[in-house]
Protein backbone atom coordinates (compact mmCIF):
# COMPACT_ATOMS: atom_id res chain seq x y z
CA UNK A 1 0.00 0.00 0.00
CA UNK A 2 1.38 3.38 -0.88
CA UNK A 3 2.12 5.84 1.86
CA UNK A 4 0.01 8.88 2.59
CA UNK A 5 1.52 12.36 2.71
CA UNK A 6 -0.53 15.08 4.42
CA UNK A 7 0.16 18.69 3.57
CA UNK A 8 -1.10 21.32 6.02
CA UNK A 9 -1.70 24.85 4.72
CA UNK A 10 -2.85 27.61 7.12
CA UNK A 11 -4.93 30.35 5.50
CA UNK A 12 -5.69 33.82 6.80
CA UNK A 13 -7.12 36.23 4.24
CA UNK A 14 -5.37 34.44 1.38
CA UNK A 15 -7.98 34.85 -1.40
CA UNK A 16 -5.28 36.14 -3.72
CA UNK A 17 -2.99 33.17 -3.31
CA UNK A 18 -5.11 30.12 -2.53
CA UNK A 19 -5.82 29.27 -6.20
CA UNK A 20 -2.19 29.39 -7.26
CA UNK A 21 -1.10 27.66 -4.10
CA UNK A 22 -3.55 24.80 -4.75
CA UNK A 23 -2.44 24.57 -8.37
CA UNK A 24 1.26 24.33 -7.56
CA UNK A 25 0.82 21.97 -4.65
CA UNK A 26 -1.45 19.70 -6.67
CA UNK A 27 0.97 19.65 -9.62
CA UNK A 28 3.77 18.55 -7.32
CA UNK A 29 1.80 16.10 -5.18
CA UNK A 30 -0.09 14.38 -7.97
CA UNK A 31 3.19 13.65 -9.76
CA UNK A 32 4.46 11.72 -6.74
CA UNK A 33 3.88 8.01 -6.29
CA UNK A 34 2.56 8.45 -2.74
CA UNK A 35 -1.05 9.20 -2.02
CA UNK A 36 -1.71 12.64 -0.55
CA UNK A 37 -4.22 14.82 1.27
CA UNK A 38 -4.21 18.60 1.28
CA UNK A 39 -5.45 20.09 4.52
CA UNK A 40 -6.47 23.74 4.33
CA UNK A 41 -7.10 25.45 7.64
CA UNK A 42 -9.12 28.64 7.32
CA UNK A 43 -8.05 30.68 10.31
CA UNK A 44 -11.06 33.00 10.55
CA UNK A 45 -10.44 34.81 7.26
CA UNK A 46 -12.56 37.91 6.63
CA UNK A 47 -12.24 37.78 2.85
CA UNK A 48 -13.30 35.22 0.29
CA UNK A 49 -10.82 32.54 1.38
CA UNK A 50 -13.42 30.24 2.89
CA UNK A 51 -15.66 30.00 -0.19
CA UNK A 52 -12.66 29.47 -2.48
CA UNK A 53 -11.33 26.72 -0.18
CA UNK A 54 -14.81 25.18 0.05
CA UNK A 55 -15.01 24.98 -3.74
CA UNK A 56 -11.67 23.20 -3.83
CA UNK A 57 -12.81 20.80 -1.14
CA UNK A 58 -16.03 20.02 -3.04
CA UNK A 59 -14.27 19.38 -6.33
CA UNK A 60 -11.21 17.51 -5.19
CA UNK A 61 -11.35 14.49 -2.85
CA UNK A 62 -7.75 15.14 -1.80
CA UNK A 63 -8.74 18.37 -0.09
CA UNK A 64 -9.81 18.58 3.56
CA UNK A 65 -11.00 21.93 4.92
CA UNK A 66 -10.85 22.85 8.60
CA UNK A 67 -12.77 26.08 9.22
CA UNK A 68 -12.01 27.99 12.43
CA UNK A 69 -14.74 29.92 14.26
CA UNK A 70 -12.44 32.96 14.37
CA UNK A 71 -8.82 33.92 13.92
CA UNK A 72 -6.68 31.92 16.33
CA UNK A 73 -3.32 32.61 14.73
CA UNK A 74 -0.91 30.75 12.52
CA UNK A 75 0.48 28.40 15.18
CA UNK A 76 -3.00 27.22 16.17
CA UNK A 77 -4.04 26.81 12.54
CA UNK A 78 -1.03 24.62 11.88
CA UNK A 79 -1.69 22.67 15.10
CA UNK A 80 -5.28 21.97 14.01
CA UNK A 81 -4.14 20.86 10.56
CA UNK A 82 -1.54 18.53 12.00
CA UNK A 83 -4.15 17.05 14.33
CA UNK A 84 -6.45 16.31 11.40
CA UNK A 85 -3.68 14.82 9.31
CA UNK A 86 -3.84 11.08 8.69
CA UNK A 87 -0.57 10.84 6.77
CA UNK A 88 2.50 8.72 7.44
CA UNK A 89 4.35 11.99 6.98
CA UNK A 90 2.98 15.48 7.48
CA UNK A 91 4.28 18.59 5.71
CA UNK A 92 3.59 22.13 6.98
CA UNK A 93 3.78 24.86 4.35
CA UNK A 94 2.67 28.50 4.13
CA UNK A 95 -0.05 29.36 1.63
CA UNK A 96 1.76 32.31 0.08
CA UNK A 97 4.32 30.22 -1.85
CA UNK A 98 7.25 31.68 0.05
CA UNK A 99 8.05 28.06 0.85
CA UNK A 100 8.42 26.32 -2.54
CA UNK A 101 6.07 23.30 -2.88
CA UNK A 102 8.53 21.87 -5.41
CA UNK A 103 10.80 20.97 -2.47
CA UNK A 104 8.29 18.47 -1.08
CA UNK A 105 9.41 15.46 -3.21
CA UNK A 106 12.97 15.99 -1.98
CA UNK A 107 11.75 16.16 1.61
CA UNK A 108 9.81 12.93 1.11
CA UNK A 109 12.90 11.32 -0.39
CA UNK A 110 14.96 12.31 2.68
CA UNK A 111 12.19 10.95 4.91
CA UNK A 112 12.27 7.64 3.03
CA UNK A 113 16.00 7.54 3.60
CA UNK A 114 15.50 7.70 7.34
CA UNK A 115 15.03 11.36 8.32
CA UNK A 116 12.19 11.75 10.81
CA UNK A 117 12.04 15.53 10.51
CA UNK A 118 13.15 17.48 7.45
CA UNK A 119 13.16 21.21 8.21
CA UNK A 120 13.53 23.98 5.69
CA UNK A 121 16.46 26.25 6.37
CA UNK A 122 16.38 29.65 4.69
CA UNK A 123 19.67 30.51 3.06
CA UNK A 124 18.31 33.82 1.86
CA UNK A 125 15.08 35.75 1.79
CA UNK A 126 13.67 37.53 -1.23
CA UNK A 127 11.30 40.46 -1.27
CA UNK A 128 11.20 40.99 2.47
CA UNK A 129 11.92 44.33 4.04
CA UNK A 130 15.39 45.07 5.41
CA UNK A 131 13.68 45.51 8.80
CA UNK A 132 12.15 42.01 8.68
CA UNK A 133 15.41 40.41 7.55
CA UNK A 134 17.42 42.22 10.19
CA UNK A 135 15.02 41.51 13.06
CA UNK A 136 14.68 37.85 12.02
CA UNK A 137 18.47 37.52 11.83
CA UNK A 138 18.97 39.06 15.28
CA UNK A 139 16.05 37.19 16.80
CA UNK A 140 17.35 33.74 15.93
CA UNK A 141 20.72 34.66 17.47
CA UNK A 142 19.14 36.02 20.69
CA UNK A 143 16.93 32.93 20.88
CA UNK A 144 20.00 30.79 20.48
CA UNK A 145 21.82 32.63 23.27
CA UNK A 146 18.87 32.66 25.67
CA UNK A 147 17.27 29.35 24.94
CA UNK A 148 17.94 26.36 27.11
CA UNK A 149 17.39 24.31 24.01
CA UNK A 150 19.24 24.59 20.69
CA UNK A 151 16.63 25.47 18.10
CA UNK A 152 17.99 25.50 14.53
CA UNK A 153 18.52 29.06 13.30
CA UNK A 154 16.73 30.59 10.32
CA UNK A 155 14.02 27.96 10.10
CA UNK A 156 10.31 28.56 9.93
CA UNK A 157 7.55 26.01 10.15
CA UNK A 158 8.10 24.67 6.63
CA UNK A 159 8.97 21.07 7.43
CA UNK A 160 8.11 17.41 7.03
CA UNK A 161 7.48 15.27 10.10
CA UNK A 162 7.21 11.53 10.44
CA UNK A 163 4.05 10.10 12.01
CA UNK A 164 5.98 9.29 15.22
CA UNK A 165 6.97 12.94 15.60
CA UNK A 166 3.41 14.08 14.87
CA UNK A 167 2.06 11.80 17.57
CA UNK A 168 4.50 13.21 20.12
CA UNK A 169 3.57 16.75 19.07
CA UNK A 170 -0.07 15.91 19.64
CA UNK A 171 0.83 14.92 23.19
CA UNK A 172 2.25 18.40 23.89
CA UNK A 173 -0.79 20.46 24.91
CA UNK A 174 0.95 23.74 25.75
CA UNK A 175 -1.05 26.85 24.89
CA UNK A 176 1.70 29.27 23.83
CA UNK A 177 2.95 27.29 20.91
CA UNK A 178 6.29 27.81 19.21
CA UNK A 179 6.08 24.83 16.90
CA UNK A 180 9.53 25.05 15.37
CA UNK A 181 10.99 24.86 18.88
CA UNK A 182 8.64 22.08 19.98
CA UNK A 183 9.52 19.94 16.97
CA UNK A 184 13.20 20.50 17.59
CA UNK A 185 12.73 19.58 21.27
CA UNK A 186 11.21 16.14 20.57
CA UNK A 187 14.47 14.81 19.14
CA UNK A 188 14.47 12.05 16.50
CA UNK A 189 16.56 12.25 13.38
CA UNK A 190 16.26 15.83 12.10
CA UNK A 191 17.84 16.98 8.86
CA UNK A 192 17.88 20.43 7.24
CA UNK A 193 17.07 21.16 3.64
CA UNK A 194 18.28 24.52 2.42
CA UNK A 195 16.11 26.78 0.30
CA UNK A 196 15.72 30.34 -0.86
CA UNK A 197 12.66 31.98 0.67
CA UNK A 198 10.74 33.40 -2.24
CA UNK A 199 8.66 36.54 -2.35
CA UNK A 200 5.04 36.34 -1.31
CA UNK A 201 3.03 35.37 -4.42
CA UNK A 202 0.44 38.09 -3.74
CA UNK A 203 -1.09 40.10 -0.93
CA UNK A 204 0.81 41.20 2.12
CA UNK A 205 2.09 39.59 5.26
CA UNK A 206 -0.53 38.36 7.72
CA UNK A 207 2.06 38.61 10.47
CA UNK A 208 2.02 42.22 11.67
CA UNK A 209 4.65 43.30 14.19
CA UNK A 210 2.37 42.54 17.16
CA UNK A 211 1.86 38.89 16.16
CA UNK A 212 5.54 38.58 15.34
CA UNK A 213 6.54 39.86 18.79
CA UNK A 214 4.14 37.43 20.47
CA UNK A 215 5.67 34.54 18.54
CA UNK A 216 9.17 35.76 19.34
CA UNK A 217 8.32 36.00 23.05
CA UNK A 218 6.77 32.50 23.01
CA UNK A 219 9.97 31.15 21.51
CA UNK A 220 12.09 32.57 24.29
CA UNK A 221 9.74 32.11 27.24
CA UNK A 222 8.66 28.55 26.40
CA UNK A 223 12.21 27.38 25.95
CA UNK A 224 14.24 29.25 28.47
CA UNK A 225 14.54 30.06 32.13
CA UNK A 226 17.67 32.07 31.38
CA UNK A 227 16.08 35.51 31.91
CA UNK A 228 15.54 34.48 35.55
CA UNK A 229 19.12 33.23 35.67
CA UNK A 230 20.35 36.65 34.56
CA UNK A 231 18.32 38.27 37.38
CA UNK A 232 19.75 35.82 39.93
CA UNK A 233 23.31 36.49 38.88
CA UNK A 234 22.90 40.24 38.81
CA UNK A 235 21.31 40.16 42.26
CA UNK A 236 24.02 37.92 43.64
CA UNK A 237 26.83 40.10 42.31
CA UNK A 238 25.27 43.34 43.62
CA UNK A 239 24.61 41.79 47.03
CA UNK A 240 28.20 40.57 47.40
CA UNK A 241 29.53 43.93 46.15
CA UNK A 242 27.42 45.73 48.80
CA UNK A 243 28.69 43.47 51.57
CA UNK A 244 32.31 43.85 50.49
CA UNK A 245 31.97 47.61 50.36
CA UNK A 246 30.49 47.60 53.85
CA UNK A 247 33.34 45.43 55.10
CA UNK A 248 35.92 47.71 53.46
CA UNK A 249 34.31 50.73 55.10
CA UNK A 250 34.45 49.11 58.53
CA UNK A 251 38.15 48.36 58.07
CA UNK A 252 38.81 51.87 56.78
CA UNK A 253 37.05 53.25 59.85
CA UNK A 254 39.88 51.90 62.03
CA UNK A 255 42.30 54.28 60.31
CA UNK A 256 40.32 57.26 59.21
CA UNK A 257 36.91 58.90 59.20
CA UNK A 258 34.59 57.63 56.44
CA UNK A 259 31.87 59.81 54.98
CA UNK A 260 28.35 58.60 55.69
CA UNK A 261 27.05 58.41 52.12
CA UNK A 262 29.40 55.51 51.36
CA UNK A 263 27.47 53.46 53.90
CA UNK A 264 24.28 54.42 52.13
CA UNK A 265 25.67 53.16 48.83
CA UNK A 266 26.76 49.90 50.45
CA UNK A 267 23.29 49.45 51.94
CA UNK A 268 21.55 50.20 48.63
CA UNK A 269 23.75 47.70 46.81
CA UNK A 270 23.26 44.98 49.40
CA UNK A 271 19.50 45.42 49.83
CA UNK A 272 18.86 45.93 46.10
CA UNK A 273 20.97 42.88 45.30
CA UNK A 274 19.13 40.81 47.88
CA UNK A 275 15.81 41.84 46.33
CA UNK A 276 16.89 40.76 42.89
CA UNK A 277 18.35 37.55 44.22
CA UNK A 278 15.06 36.71 45.95
CA UNK A 279 13.15 37.47 42.75
CA UNK A 280 15.51 35.24 40.75
CA UNK A 281 15.06 32.45 43.26
CA UNK A 282 11.28 32.72 42.92
CA UNK A 283 11.99 32.23 39.22
CA UNK A 284 13.32 28.77 39.95
CA UNK A 285 9.90 27.83 41.31
CA UNK A 286 8.11 29.56 38.44
CA UNK A 287 10.19 27.63 35.96
CA UNK A 288 9.29 24.37 37.63
CA UNK A 289 5.61 25.22 37.81
CA UNK A 290 5.66 26.25 34.16
CA UNK A 291 7.29 22.95 33.28
CA UNK A 292 4.53 21.09 35.10
CA UNK A 293 1.84 23.23 33.46
CA UNK A 294 3.18 22.65 29.97
CA UNK A 295 2.54 18.98 30.56
CA UNK A 296 5.10 17.84 28.03
CA UNK A 297 5.97 14.14 27.93
CA UNK A 298 8.69 13.24 30.45
CA UNK A 299 10.65 11.42 27.78
CA UNK A 300 10.13 10.32 24.23
CA UNK A 301 10.70 6.77 23.11
CA UNK A 302 11.36 6.05 19.47
CA UNK A 303 10.94 2.31 19.89
CA UNK A 304 11.39 -0.33 22.55
CA UNK A 305 13.62 -3.13 21.30
CA UNK A 306 12.77 -6.37 22.96
CA UNK A 307 13.59 -9.88 21.96
CA UNK A 308 10.31 -11.78 21.85
CA UNK A 309 11.16 -15.35 22.65
N1 LIG B 1 -1.63 32.79 8.87
C2 LIG B 1 -2.67 32.25 9.61
N3 LIG B 1 -3.20 32.96 10.65
C4 LIG B 1 -2.72 34.19 11.01
C5 LIG B 1 -1.63 34.72 10.28
C6 LIG B 1 -1.11 34.00 9.22
O7 LIG B 1 -3.13 31.14 9.32
O8 LIG B 1 -3.23 34.78 11.95
C9 LIG B 1 -1.07 32.03 7.74
C10 LIG B 1 -0.98 32.77 6.45
O11 LIG B 1 -2.17 32.69 5.70
C12 LIG B 1 0.18 32.07 5.76
C13 LIG B 1 1.07 31.67 6.92
O14 LIG B 1 0.26 31.70 8.08
O15 LIG B 1 -0.21 30.89 5.08
C16 LIG B 1 2.26 32.59 7.10
O17 LIG B 1 1.83 33.93 7.15
P18 LIG B 1 2.55 35.10 6.34
O19 LIG B 1 3.02 34.59 5.02
O20 LIG B 1 1.66 36.28 6.30
O21 LIG B 1 3.80 35.39 7.30
P22 LIG B 1 5.26 35.89 6.84
O23 LIG B 1 5.73 34.96 5.77
O24 LIG B 1 5.08 37.27 6.37
O25 LIG B 1 6.07 35.79 8.09
MG1 LIG C 1 4.73 34.53 4.10
**Range 33-39 average pLDDT:** 97
Instruction: State whether the beta carbon of 165 lies less than 6 angstroms from ligand 1.
Output: no
53 within domain boundaries: yes
Count of the separate structural domains present in the chain = 2
In a shared domain, residues 75 and 176: yes
CA distance 277 to 229: 10
b/e string for 150-179 if b means 16 or more Cβ within 10 A?
ebbebbbbbbbbbbbbbebbeebeeeebbb
Tell whether 217 is covered by a domain.
no
Write the CB contacts of 123 (distance below 8 Å, at least 6 apart in sequence): 154, 194, 195, 196
Query: What pLDDT is stored for residue 65 in this prediction?
Result: 98
Q: 206 CB under 6 A from ligand 1?
A: yes
Q: Which ligand number lies closest to the CA of residue 75?
A: 1
**What distance in angstroms lies between residue 205's CA and the mean position of ligand 1's atoms?**
7
Mutation probe of ligand 1 site: the residue of 78, 136, 206 with most atoms within 8 A of C-beta: 206
179 lines ligand 1 (CB under 6 A): no
Atom 19 (ligand 1) nearest CA: 205
Domain range for 267 is: 226-294
**Ligand 2 center to 159 CA (angstroms):** 14
Read off the pLDDT band of 235 (50, 70, 90).
Answer: very high
Average pLDDT over the chain reads: 93
Please identify, by atom number, the ligand 1 atom nearest to the C-alpha of residue 43.
7
- C-alpha of residue 28 to centroid of ligand 1, in Å: 22
* Confidence (pLDDT) at 309: 64
- Does 220 reside within a domain? no
**Shared-domain flag, residues 108 and 241:** no
Same domain, 9 and 60: yes
Residue 221 included in any domain = no
Residue 77 CA: nearest ligand 1 atom is 7
Same domain, 42 and 183: yes
Q: Is residue 274 part of a domain?
A: yes
Distance, CA 164 to ligand 1 centroid (Å)?
A: 26
Contacts of 133 (CB under 8 A, 6+ apart): 125
- The contacts of residue 302 (CB under 8 Å, 6+ apart) are 164, 188
Q: Are 162 and 238 in a shared domain?
A: no
Task: Render pLDDT for 175-222 as a digit per residue (tens, 0 to 9).
Answer: 999 999 999 999 999 999 999 998 889 889 988 888 888 888 888 888
* Domain assignment present for 165: yes
Asked if residue 182 belongs to a domain, the reply is yes
| Ligand 1 site, residue 135, Cβ cutoff 6 A | no
Same domain, 255 and 129: no
- Give 211 Cα–ligand 1 centroid separation in angstroms: 10
Ligand at minimal distance from the CA of 179 is 1
The whole-number average pLDDT for the span 303-308 is 89
Is the pLDDT reported for residue 105 higher than 90?
yes
The pLDDT of residue 76 is 97
pTM equals 0.88
Query: Are 9 and 41 spatial neighbours (Cβ–Cβ below 8 Å)?
Result: yes
Spacing, Cα 27 to ligand 1 middle (Å)? 22
Determine the average pLDDT of the residues in 231-244. Answer: 95
CA-closest residue to ligand 1 atom 22: 205
Residue 96 Cβ contacting ligand 1 at under 6 Å = yes
- Give the position, in ligand 1's atom list, of the atom nearest the Cα of 128: 24
Residues 196 and 73 in one domain: yes
Task: Verify that 283 and 301 share a domain, yes or no.
Answer: no
CATH label of the domain that carries residue 153: 3.90.550.10
pLDDT digits (tens, 9 = 90+) for 241-295: 999 999 999 899 889 888 888 889 999 999 999 999 999 999 999 999 999 999 9
Give the tens place of pLDDT for each residue, 118-172: 999 999 877 778 888 888 888 888 888 887 777 888 889 999 999 999 999 999 9
Please report whether residue 202 resides in a domain.
Answer: yes
The verdict on 193 and 289 lying in the same domain is no
DSSP summary character for residue 46: S
Same domain, 244 and 156: no
Across 35-44, 75-84, 106-115, 147-156, least confident range: 147-156
Confidence band for 114, pLDDT divided at 50, 70 and 90:
very high
Please indicate, yes or no, whether residues 37 and 178 belong to a single structural domain of this protein: yes
* Residue 107 and residue 39 in one domain: yes
Rounded Cα gap, residues 53 and 285, in angstroms: 47
Amino acid sequence: MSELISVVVPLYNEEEVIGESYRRLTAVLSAMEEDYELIFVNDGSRDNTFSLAKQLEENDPHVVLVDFARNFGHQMAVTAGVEQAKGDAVVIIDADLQDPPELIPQMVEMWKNGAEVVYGKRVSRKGESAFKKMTAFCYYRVLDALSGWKIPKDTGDFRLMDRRVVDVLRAMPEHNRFLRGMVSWVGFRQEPIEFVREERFAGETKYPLKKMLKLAADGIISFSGKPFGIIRWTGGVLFVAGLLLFLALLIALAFTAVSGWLYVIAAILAVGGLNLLALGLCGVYFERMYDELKGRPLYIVRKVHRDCK
